[in-house]
């Protein structure tokens, strides 16, 4: 896992992807995956992510996510 992450980070730096953009994309995908695994149940997804339910709801709105895939 560490090796994959190091390769990905090096590639992102090479492509001049800024840290803020990378963090937002990671967070968005992390949330979307949690929502998918909990079949869109935001309360369960918040628990899995270690977030308060209101924080997750705000982030779903921020990233324009809609439930699960």
Find the helix or strand (DSSP H, E) in which 41 lies: none
Q: Is pLDDT above 60 for 67?
A: no
Give the pLDDT of residue 41: 96
Q: Cβ(59)–Cβ(27) under 8 Å?
A: yes
- Choose which CATH entry (1.10.630.10, 3.30.300.210, 1.20.1300.10, 1.10.10.60) describes domain 2-62: 1.10.10.60
Neighbours of 13 (CB within 10 A): 12
Q: What is the pLDDT of residues 7-62, one digit of tens each?
A: 999 999 999 999 999 999 999 999 999 999 999 999 999 999 999 999 999 999 99
- What pTM did the predictor assign? 0.82
């Amino acid at each position: 896992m560490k090796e994959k992450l190091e390769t990905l980070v090096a590639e992102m730096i090479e492509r001049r992807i800024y840290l803020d953009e990378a963090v937002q994309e990671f967070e968005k995908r992390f949330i979307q995956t949690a929502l998918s695994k909990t079949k869109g149940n935001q309360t369960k997804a918040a628990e899995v992510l270690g977030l308060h339910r209101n924080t997750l709801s705000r982030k779903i709105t921020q990233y324009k996510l809609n439930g699960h895939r």
